[in-house]
Structure 1
Amino acid sequence: MGEIEVMGGVAVESFGAGPGVVVVPGTNRRAHHYEPLARALAGAHTVHVVERRGRGESAARGTSYSVEAEVDDVLGVLERTGARVVFGHSYGGLIALHAGLRQALDALVVYEPGVSLDGSFDLSWMEAFNRKVADGRFVSAMTTFLKGAQLLPFRATPLLWAISVLLLYGREERDLMPLTPAELGEIARLDSDGSRYARITAPTLLLGGTKTPAYLTGVLPQLAKILPNAEYSILPGLDHNAPDETAPDEVARQLRQYLVRQSR
């Protein structure tokens, strides 16, 4: 565990020493899920992992929720720490991109951001998911989420889906379910042609994996054309949870190499 400090209502766990990198977790994720990534970067950077609101020692969310409220927290952490680089994963990648719209950064790196371009992120299942969350049926809601988002890595019968959810996702993930509907709502609200992101001035690296559903990686080359100073890479053998579970060392290596190139 790193050093934890509450900054403006959000807890931040910090590791290492060197130029600062702020890490923004994805949906259904806590700061501790990114500890292996942070430790892999800590030899060259001070890594500040944000515990987003409604989680751990961070304050509860306000009554009105938006990506911009999340961006306010990220910008506050940047100000407090002096960091100039942001890394975001999944929905955290969407937050990171919007942070790049509001503040000049030395670099911005996102892994499969929760961006919908011209309806690319199919949320036709969101209404059913929201109903199940509202009814407290969190295991069933998680099953709907994973099926809708195509994030379970094999085909299964309904019974196998339920068993898989119980085995792969614990109480912590299920307890985070009530936070998810608002985040899905923001992905839907922000669906666009992507032209807003042309205002991001930071050098930007867009990462994805070959084992991830195409709707999450397909936006990367589109965004790379829109952002004025961006490049993208689809990494062999990596899936959507590479930063937090399956390949944090490789994601850290990609991030380190990119930041070294930007510093030359």
Structure 2
Amino acid sequence: MARVGGVAVETIGSGPGMVVVPGNNRRAHHYGRLARALSGAHEVHVIERRGRGESAGRDPAYTVESDADDVLAVLEHTGSRVLFGHSYGGLVALHAGLRQPVDGLIVYEPGVSLDGSFGASWMPEFNRQVEDGRQVAAMTTFLRETGLLPFKTRPLLWAISWLMLRGPGSHEAREMMPLTPAELGEIVRLDSDGSRYAAIASRTLLLGGAKSPTYLTGVLPRLAGLLPDADYTILPGLDHNAPDENAPDTIAEQIRRYLVRGERHPRYSSTE
């Protein structure tokens, strides 16, 4: 990995540069398949956000703009003109886009809350559990309240959380858990009517999956109506982890079609 300022950056491929911003509880390597799928047409630079891996620690006075600073530094260093963000990384990408236009801004289910769409009543309990070091309990709360898994029963969610945090290869999840409260706090702090995003001048593609919770996909048509040059697509059969785990090739194809072929996406929502 190369280093740009305080962040490590993993680079693959050749061609016009693209910067990828990982989501909450994600590392750069989680986007390896997506980067490889795009590497034939782009030089892909995946950021290791602060507090993770070889990147510097995160400032206690963290805000989303701290991540946006790093994104803008990587865009400048690499000469990249395309930006992709997933989940919370999508929120970071939108805020970077507010500060600097790019040729293409693509986000998948960005962590944007509009008029209270992201319910936060459970966060004090979650934050206490993280602060007390009760990580399995905290992950169970997180999974139950965010609806990112199709399971609802607490015993099953507890078992999944235990595997995520105590099973093989779980050290990364344990290390990233303390970073989550501040990021969720930023989503809540930035809740608004979305009018701030009307200042994004970049051509923008908003993607989501039909199997994702509605609080993640319901903001996409609203954002598409606010941004001056934006399209949105809800992709059938995909969930929140399509870019990093379940369908990176599909997401790469959407990005290629939008950028390489210059294809316009219709403003529609499909749940077929």
CA RMSD, 1 decimal: 1.2
For 2:246 and 2:174, how far apart are their aligned partners in 1?
A: 20
Q: Report what 1:161 is aligned to.
A: 157
- 1:124 Cα deviation after fit: 1.1
Q: Deviations over 1:208-246 (max 9, x none)?
A: 001100110000000000000000000010000000000
Matched, 1:105 2:102: yes
1:200-215 equivalence runs, <5 A? 200-215=200-215
Distance, in Å, in 2 between the alignment partners of 1:85 and 1:262 is 13
Distance 2:175 2:25 in 1: 9
Unaligned runs of 5+ in 2: 265-272
Counterpart of 1:176 in 2: which secondary structure?
A: helix
* Corresponding residue number in structure 2 for 1:30: 27
One-letter code of the match for 2:68?
V
**SS across alignment from 2:9:** strand
Call closer, same or farther: CA 1:242–1:263 in 2, change over 3 Å: closer
Q: Which residue of 2 aligns with 1:182?
A: 182
Q: Is contact 1:24-1:93 (8 Å) kept?
A: yes
Task: For structure 1, list consecutive stretches of 5 or more residues without a partner in the other structure.
Answer: none
Q: Which residue of 1 aligns with 2:270?
A: none
Shift of 1:166: 2.3
For 2:226, the equivalent position in structure 1 comes to 226
In 1: Cα distance, 2:174 partner to 2:115 partner: 30
The separation in 2 between residues aligned to 1:144 and 1:261, in whole angstroms, is: 43
Counterpart of 2:147 in structure 1 is 150
- 1:225-264 aligned at under 5 Å gives the runs 225-262=225-262
Q: Distance in 2 between the 1:204 and 1:122 partners?
A: 26
Structure 1: which amino acid aligns with 2:51?
Answer: G
Measure how far apart 1:168 and its partner are: 4.6
Q: Is the 8 A contact 2:68 2:95 kept in 1?
A: yes
For 1:136 and 1:181, how far apart are their aligned partners in 2?
A: 13
Any idea what the Cα deviations from partners look like across 1:4-41, whole Å, max 9, x if unmatched? Answer: 10100100000100001100000000000000000000
> For 1:164-216, what per-residue CA distance to the aligned partner results, in whole angstroms no more than 9, with x for missing partners?
22235533113211000000110011000000000001000000001100110
SS in 2 for 1:118: coil
Look up the match of 2:65. 68
What TM-score do you get using the length of structure 2 for normalisation?
0.93
Query: Deviations along 1:147-167, whole A, 9 cap, x unmatched?
Result: 1111122232x2211112223
Mapping of residues 48-67 of structure 1, within 5 Å:
48-67=45-64
The alignment partner of 1:231 has SS state of: strand
Matched to 1:240, the amino acid is H
Give the TM-score of the pair, scaled to structure 1: 0.96
Which residue identity does 1:192 align to in structure 2? S
Q: Which residue pairs with 1:122 in the alignment?
A: 119
* 1:82 positional shift: 0.1
Measured in 2, the distance between the counterparts of 1:19 and 1:50 equals 17
* Percent identity over paired residues: 68
Aligned equivalent of 1:88: 85
Cα distance in 2 for residues equivalent to 1:193 and 1:155? 30
Structure 2 partner of 1:79: 76
Matched, 1:198 2:198: yes
- Say which SS state the counterpart of residue 99 (structure 1) adopts: helix
Which residue of structure 1 lines up, in the alignment, with residue 36 of structure 2? Answer: 39
Distance 1:236 1:148 in 2: 23
Q: Matched residues in 2 for 1:159 and 1:104: separation?
A: 46
Q: Helix, strand or coil: the match of 1:54?
A: coil
Paired position in structure 2 for 1:15: 12
Contact 1:142–1:174 (Cα < 8 Å) also in 2: no
